[in-house]
Amino acid sequence: MSSNIANETTCAFSDRRPWTVGRVLKSRPFLYAVSLCCFFFGWDYLARTLGTEGSSSLARPAQVWTALQDLYVNELAEHKLLGHVWASTQRVLIGFSIAAVLAVPMGLFMALNRYVNAIVKPLFDLLKPMPPISWISISILWFGIDETSKVFIIVIGTFVPCLLNAYNGVRLVEPELYDVIRMLGGNRCDEILHVCFPASFPAIFAGLQISLSSAWTCVLAAELVSARSGLGYIIVQGMNLSDPAMVMGGMAVIALVAWGTTLIVTALEGYLCPWKRKIAGL
């Protein structure tokens, strides 16, 4: 940056030191590689020693891989692997969208209007402590065991974090920013439009991230209880067939898909909130 005020900009430095054996041993990539090797070899070793032929309770990594290939090619209850992935993802997306569309405006509304807050907050506090999974039974009583009951569970599970974060996002806005708007000649409408909404954006996204992981938990629980398709169904089938490779294959796919959706939301957030500073963390 060259200008008359270049002295006011800050720079980041990184030092370069020669690579020594000690530094390689303590470097992250090396440790990560060691860790992953230990994890997979340890897993393989455990599976080989613990499991006697035929009645193994832990599948070897290679077996899981074979099981996944098998699921990918052959149908299980009318769906191949990607069909099951899509079945679960579809449920998550539908439930998640419904919850986000309902909860975020409601959270904003609660934060902006004291009277709405006084009416809705107590009901919300009443229902909040019930874990979404405890709604599975009642949703089966209400909607049977088809798609609706699963989507319902996901809506319940994602509603709370969406609403809470939108609510807190607005309430934690720097109050002096409202002063700025008023000082520049804006009215209450401008305050909401130019301060509340953008300021609560990062919090809303954090809420969406939490809801997303909650949604995956919910969809799995619902599918474990009753389903004819989806990743939870693969796991249940694996359990019923006493096939740990299938169960663990299902788990691996869930991990992958959940991780993928989280990445997508993070990318979306980075795209929509370019002002947000990157915060170190997991």
Partner 1 sequence: MTAYREVRVRTPLILKILPVVSIAAFFCLWEFVVRSGIVPETMLAAPSTVAELFLVKLRETDPDGALLQQHAWVSIQEAFTGYFLSLAVGIPLGLAMGWFVVAEGLARPVFEIIRPIPPVAWIPLTIFWFGIGLPGKIFIIWLGGLVPCVINAYVGVKMTNPTLIQMARTYGASDWQIFRQLCVPSSLPMVFGALQIALACCWTNLVAAELLAADMGLGFMITMGRRLAMPEMVVLGMVMVGLTGAVIGIVIDRVEKKLLAGIRR
Partner 2 sequence: MAPHSSDAPVKIACAHVSKTFIQKGKQEVPVLDDVSLEVHENEFLVILGPGQCGKSTLLRIIAGLETPSTGSVTLKDKDGMAREVQGPGSDRGLVFQGYMLFPWKTVQGNVEMGPRLRGLPAAECRALARHYIDMVGLTGFEGHYPHQLSGGMKQRVGIARVYANSPEVMLLDEPFGQLDAQTRIFMEQETARIWQAEKRTVIFVTNNIDEALYLGDRIVAMEGKLPGRVQTVYEVDLPRPRDFTDMEFLRLRQQIIDASRLTL
| Cβ neighbours of 195 (radius 10 Å) | 19
Binding-site member from 156, 166, 220, 245 for partner 1 (CB under 8 A): 220
Contact of 212 with 246, CB cutoff 8 Å: no
Give the CA-trace dihedral at 38, 41, 45, 51, to 10 degrees.
110
| DSSP one-letter code for 113 | -
Using CB under 8 A as the binding rule, whether residue 28 contacts partner 1 is answered as yes
Using CB under 8 A as the binding rule, whether residue 169 contacts partner 1 is answered as no
Contact of 61 with 43, CB cutoff 8 Å: yes
Using CB under 8 A as the binding rule, whether residue 217 contacts partner 1 is answered as yes
Question: Of 8-16, 74-82, 97-105, 251-259, which segment contacts partner 1 by CB under 8 A?
Answer: 251-259
How many angstroms separate the CA atoms of 213 and 133, rounded? 13
Angle at 223 between CA 90 and CA 148, to 5 degrees: 55
Q: What phi and psi values does residue 186 have, to the nearest 5 degrees?
A: -85, 160
Residue 13 tokens, joined: 């430095």
Residue 126 tokens, joined: 């009443």
- State the nearest-atom distance from the C-beta of 252 to partner 1, in Å: 8
Which residues, other chains included, contact 162 with Cβ-Cβ below 8 Å and sequence gap of 6+?
A: 99, 100, 103, 104, 107, 204, 207, 208, 211
Residues in the chain: 282
How many angstroms separate the CA atoms of 247 and 231, rounded? 10
172 contact choice in partner 1, partner 2, none (CB below 5 to 8 Å, kind-dependent): none
Buried b (16+ CB within 10 A) or exposed e, 152-163: bbbbbbbbbbbb
Using CB under 8 A as the binding rule, whether residue 236 contacts partner 1 is answered as yes
- State the nearest-atom distance from the C-beta of 34 to partner 1, in Å: 7
Number of residues interacting with partner 1: please give it, by CB under 8 A. 63
Task: Show contacts with partner 1 in window 117-136 (CB under 8 A).
Answer: 118-123, 126-127, 129-136
- Alpha-helix residue ranges (DSSP H) falling in 52-80: 61-73
- State the nearest-atom distance from the C-beta of 238 to partner 1, in Å: 7
Contacts to partner 2 by CB under 8 A: 1, 3-5, 8-10, 174, 176-177, 179-186, 190, 194-195, 198-199, 201, 273-275, 277
198 contact choice in partner 2, partner 1, none (CB below 5 to 8 Å, kind-dependent): partner 2
31 contact choice in partner 2, partner 1, none (CB below 5 to 8 Å, kind-dependent): partner 1
Using CB under 8 A as the binding rule, whether residue 281 contacts partner 1 is answered as yes
Strands (E), 160-266: none
Using CB under 8 A as the binding rule, whether residue 163 contacts partner 1 is answered as no
Using CB under 8 A as the binding rule, whether residue 113 contacts partner 1 is answered as no
Using CB under 8 A as the binding rule, whether residue 69 contacts partner 1 is answered as no
Using CB under 8 A as the binding rule, whether residue 1 contacts partner 1 is answered as no
> For binding to partner 1 (CB under 8 A), which residues are involved?
26-28, 30-32, 34-36, 38-39, 57-58, 114-115, 118-123, 126-127, 129-138, 140-142, 213, 216-217, 220-221, 224-225, 232, 235-236, 238-239, 242, 244, 247-248, 250-251, 254-256, 258-259, 262, 280-282
